[in-house]
Amino acid sequence: MYSYFLFLLILIPFMALSAWASAKVNSTYAKYDRVPNHSNMTGYDTAVRLLRKNGVHDITVNRVAGRLTDHYHPAKKQVNLSQSTYGSASVASVAVAAHEIGHVMQKQKGYVPYKLRTALVPAVNIGSRLALPLILIGILLDVFLYATGSMAGQIVMYVGIGLYSLSTLFMLVTLPVEFNASRRAKKMLVSEGILTREELDGASKVLSAAAMTYVASMLISLVYFLRMLFIVLANTRRR
């Protein structure tokens, strides 16, 4: 019981950080979405221009539903911009669009953390669905098989925690990928004259606010991983 309250005591501040980060990115985007950029380029214009300038001609730029649902889909060779970004000629919209092109350039240039994150996606998709059930099944098996001396329950628990660790690793790798994409975005926006140095300050605030959501997610994932690891190790010691 004490360990659970300790877990909550650690988790609650990170949950609060996550809520703050989410609110911050929305408010910052809304603020700079009301600030037009001097080049009058929309998110779509920005994405297409940066792709062509960097010699990329096999990526399409599409509009998707929602707000801040922007993402790059490498398998489909698509940069998908949200409705709030696609047709807006604001400082915020071009910053977000350029960030997605930053991901395209990471793939084009063979940026190692991006390649690692991409490689982890299939395993994380499986692990996120199976990890917790396997840990719970392992604990139950360990209880039922304790009298026989079987290691089956512990093995299942270790597999579960291993799968869960992939999700935490994915979040850790995501941080340098996102920060690097933002650095690339800001450099391209200035070099192409899409934003002035003064406007870049607003774009930086939008991208920094977005990055904080990834930091918060990583911290929460790490706390949950340590909690699951503690449960598995405690069960092993009791055995």
> What is the set of active-site residues?
100
The C-alpha atoms of residue 71 and residue 178 are separated, in whole angstroms, by 12
Query: What is the rounded CA–CA span in Å between residue 199 and residue 188?
Result: 13
Distance CA 224, CA 166 (A): 12
**Phi-psi category of residue 26: left, alpha or beta, with phi > 0 → left and psi -120 to 50 → alpha:** alpha
| Antiparallel, parallel or unpaired: β 78-82 and 71-73 | antiparallel
User: Residue 176: is it exposed, middle or buried by C-beta count within 10 angstroms (0-12/13-18/19+)?
Assistant: middle
- The gap from C-alpha 228 to its chain's centroid, in whole angstroms, comes to 21
**What is the CB-side half-sphere exposure of residue 2 using CA atoms within 13 A?**
0
Separation CA 180–CA 104 (nearest Å): 12
Q: Which residues contact 70 (CB under 8 A, 6 or more apart)?
A: 64, 80, 81, 82, 85, 96, 97, 99, 100
